[in-house]
Amino acid sequence: MSDNTFLYLDFFKLLDILKFYTQTPYSKEEILNLRPFQDIEQIKKRQEILSEVYDLIVGHGKPPLSQIPEMGQILRKLSVGNSILDPKEFLIVADFLAKIRNLVSFLKKAPKKGNYISQLLESIDQLPEVEKRIRRTINAQGFVEESASYQLFELRRELHIKRERIKKHLEKLMENERLRSLLQDNYITLRNGRYVIPMKPNFNQAIEGIVHDYSHTLKTSFVEPIECVGLNNEINILEKMEKEEEERILKELSSYINGYLGSIKRNIELVKELDLFCSFSLFAIDFDCVRPEVKESGDLYIKDAINPLLRVFKGDRVVPIDIILKENKSALIISGPNSGGKTVALKTIGLLILMAYSGLFIPAKGVPQIPIFRRVYALVGDEQDFLKDLSSFTSHVLAIKAMYEESEGGELVLIDEIGGGTDPQEASALSMGIIDAFVEKGCKIVVTTHLTHLKSYGFMKDFAENVACAYDEEKMVPLYKLVYGVVGMSNALHMAKSIGFPKHLIDRSLDYLGKQEYLFSSLVRSLKKEKEEVEKEKEEILRLKASLSEKIREIEDKKAEVQRKIEEEFRSKVNAIEAQIEEIEREIAKRDRVSIGRAKEMLEGLKREVKVENLDKKGEEELKVGDLVRIKSLGSIGYISDLPDDSGQYEVVIGNIRTRIKRAKLEKVSDRIGNLYVKDSPDVKVFSEKVDDWKLNIRGMSVDEALESLDRFMDKAILNGVNKIRILHGIGTGKLTSKVREYLSKSTYVTSFRLDDKNPGITIVELK
């Protein structure tokens, strides 16, 4: 892609915004060099890292990168052979390593670490031994510590002794009555590295000495008494030896650090990369960006797209647009009034695509769909070339010619005000020819225009679609939205009429324009208005649909809750009955008439209170092959085709279904029930419950309740010939999900089961 395309689509301005989010000096240049990828795998790789860093910042905070010092000059100095860092530069290196250590500590505490952060932690070399050695050698004030070497320690000890000796000698001299009158001031100072005292110019009347400096007024002489010369010489020699030892220590330390130069450079590269993705993430957070899905082909669809540069300028007043270029369409023709947002829409399309190709998130909603184009070409604004003495139109056409000759098919071409700057009739014809040529070459093209004939062309060509920049006809203001399938009018005469332009001038303008042209404009305006009304109705329908879905969900939840409460009440009653039966058994065990009579009375009372057929002796009769039975949980009727197997289950034929069911779930019935007859042949009609939505909601149930409901639900599904059911168990603690999966894995009626791809709280079951 050419720099002109980046310039026209404001890509370089976007990079300046991204640069604002950097925390270190290392990534600023990297951002300015950012360019879109052509390889979809590179795009997705950058997106994956960006997603991970984005989640890190949202969930754990911004990594501490802002205090990491700049190391460029130090690295360049170390790269030169035998270079020696000064003490303050060593402190910068130590500070860099300390900040790296803080960064590692921050990343290790992150609750979730993906591949990128984990690899980053493995790759960073904290070099604690290097930092410690620097701290031992150089103190916080930037001086070499005397503990750096034994020789330095001895030299400084000797220096201290001699300095104290010369100070005491000078103090003693200044206390001498003979010299006191010749002293200009009562202090000891240094001049040219030698200890001196301030005296009046006529000091030589009392002592012999060497003058090393004078005051500005020449009234003070800084004198080294002759008896101190030897001691000062010794101090100077020791100071020189001290400096040489310090230089030796610094040289040795520089050489030591140079051995870790590769690790330091690698750390800087890792910091640079992390800072780069942090800046992308912080931008994405501030601009409400989402991750686009970049794919090899398909529709271009971006909902509620916002140009980030416009967002900077207008803030929350920016109106989002929907960008739609279907795979079966090759051209979009955007039309509308001046200042209606055509150029901004064109730039937004191009800029957001370049952002997506750069691996960035884009300001939009949902999951934007962006196909890969071979290249993106853009031509926006006035192309007049004063240096070559070319008109705007000539430059415009030459730029289009260059794009066409360079294109090979598969490119996206964006042209603002195509054919502008010349006669409208010829411009329309030329524009149609240009669009045809790019489409025939296999390119996608988006243009903006005021040309009426080009708008008609958009209706005539199957591969083209008109797009209007929405305009409020009553308030006479642009709405900055795109309306697909209609054209936008320039509204020049309509606007002039609305502001009270003289009627006779409007009428004369209409005569010049032509009635057919005006009728066309009116028809288009009418169609546009009707489409806007349809869109409003569509939005209302979608809103009502969403509201209805929510109410249905609430009803289902309430239904499940009521069912759960009923089953709990039933289970409570069953437990009470079982307790009473145990009491009856205890009474019978006493084997006396009084107890037996009382037991019979209690049993009869239970029969009256709870009508449960399986308490009747008939329910416990042995079943034989051919007996007609009812499935208690379903109410469906079939016949026994085989005696119980090892698991105690009878084989039952229900319609066209043959299955095995436990004795407790079967009830023997008479040979004739309503319209159901047993004939010579074993053909039996089954009337089973019809269920429209084969989805079972067991959320909120206990494990026992859930498995019992699932057992009944699967029986119903099998009887109705259903081969797929959905079990809504939710996520929760995972206990209910685990028990359901365990039950399904043991069932002989289940072919397979899996979690729903879109909702892990639902299991999809395939039945035999």
DSSP letters, 586-651, are HHHHT--HHHHHHHHHHHHHHHHH---GGGSGGGGPPP-TT-EEEETTT--EEEEEE---TTSEEE
* Residue 596 token pair: 């037996």
Q: Could you tell me if residue 599 is inside a domain?
A: no
DSSP 444: E
Q: How many other β-carbons are positioned within 10 Å of the β-carbon of residue 90? A: 22
Same domain, 298 and 357: yes
CATH code of the domain in which 351 resides: 3.40.50.300
- Asked which of 200, 235, 254 is the last residue of a domain, the reply is 254
Q: Is 466 exposed, middle or buried (0-12, 13-18, 19+ CB in 10 A)?
A: buried
Q: What radius of gyration do the chain's Cα atoms show?
A: 46
pLDDT (average), residues 470-499: 68
Residue 641 and residue 752 in one domain? no
484 shares its domain with 623: no
Ranking 118-132, 337-351, 456-470, 493-507 by mean pLDDT, the lowest is: 493-507
Residue 502: partners with Cβ closer than 8 Å, 6 or more residues away: none
Of the candidates 476, 492, 513, which is a domain's last residue?
Answer: 513
Asked if the structure places residue 700 within a domain, the reply is yes
Q: What is the pLDDT of residues 637-659, one digit of tens each?
A: 788 888 887 777 888 887 666 77
Express each pLDDT in 47-64 by its tens digit.
999 999 999 999 999 999
| Residues 301 and 220 occupy one common structural domain | no
**Position 578 in a domain:** no
pTM: 0.62
DSSP single-letter state for residue 184: S
| Residue 99 and residue 224 share a domain | no
Coil vs helix vs strand at 507? helix
CA distances from 562 to 294, 391, 569, 702, 712 (A): 47, 79, 11, 14, 18
442 vs 385 pLDDT, higher one: 442
Reported confidence tier of residue 674, pLDDT bands at 50, 70, 90: very low
Domain membership of residue 397 (yes or no) is yes
Q: For residues 461 and 319, state if they share a domain.
A: yes
* 382 pLDDT tier (thresholds 50, 70, 90): low
Give residue 681's pLDDT: 36
**Residue 525 falls inside a structural domain:** no
CB atoms within 10 A of CB 117: 21
- Do 71 and 158 belong together in one domain? no
Give the CATH number for residue 656: 2.30.30.30
Task: Tell me the backbone φ, ψ of residue 208, rounded to 5 degrees.
Answer: -100, 135
Tell me: the pLDDT tens digits for 14-43?
999 999 999 998 999 899 999 999 899 999
Indicate whether 323 and 393 sit together in one domain: yes
Residue 554 lies in a domain: no
Domain shared by 680 and 733, yes or no: no
Q: Are residues 616 and 712 in the same domain?
A: no
Q: What is the DSSP letter of 391?
A: -
Give the dihedral sign, CA 604/610/611/612.
negative
Residues 552-606 have pLDDT tens digits of 888 878 877 877 887 777 777 777 777 777 776 666 666 555 555 665 566 566 5
- Residue 97 identity (one-letter amino acid): L
What CATH number is attached to the domain comprising 230? 1.10.1420.10
Check which CATH number belongs to the domain holding 739 and give it. Answer: 3.30.1370.110
The closest alpha carbon to 710, from 667, 756, 753, belongs to: 753
How far apart are alpha carbons 331 and 337 in whole angstroms? 20
> How would residue 682 be classed by pLDDT, with cut points 50, 70 and 90?
very low
Final residue belonging to a domain, choices 688, 723, 756: 688
Structure tokens that stand for 99 in this block: 């900040």
Residue 689 in this model has a pLDDT that exceeds 60 = no
Amino acid identity for residue 18 in this structure: L
**161 in a domain, yes or no?**
yes
Residue 590 forms part of a structural domain: no
* Neighbour-count burial of 613, counting CB atoms closer than 10 A to its CB (0-12 exposed, 13-18 middle, 19+ buried): exposed
> Are 726 and 657 in the same domain?
no
Q: What is the mean pLDDT of the chain?
A: 83
Residues 622 and 746 in one domain: no
Could you tell me the residue range of the domain that residue 40 belongs to? 3-127+260-286
pLDDT of residue 690: 46
Q: How many domains does the chain have?
A: 5
For the chain, the first-to-last Cα distance in angstroms comes to 57
